[in-house]
Structure 1
Amino acid sequence: MSISVNALSKTYGTQKAVEGISFEASSGKILGFLGPNGAGKSTTMKMLTCF
């Protein structure tokens, strides 16, 4: 199984939480999200896992 994300975005009102994230992850690979506080890492994971 693999996942492909193209131009993923999320806003809270007028505040952009995630803007235009795109990536592909192949089966058997380990993927991590790195970034400073408030970069949208948790928001991205919540969108991908439907929370």
Structure 2
Amino acid sequence: MCQSTRVDLQLLLFTIYNQARYDLVINYRAEPVPPLKEDDRKWVADLLKEKGLR
């Protein structure tokens, strides 16, 4: 008999991000490498501006 386990991925990723202190490592003001497509670049720029990171 095989049992399945549910994992809250949002909580998992949030916890890893916070415990690893990625907010101190990732420079959200720099352009990503490799560069994003134009539509994605605009979406990211708008999101970061909304969050006060740009």
- Under TM normalisation by the shorter chain, which class is it? 0.3 to 0.5
| Higher helix content, 1 or 2 | 2
- TM-score by structure 1 length? 0.33
Please say which structure displays the higher CA radius of gyration. Answer: 2
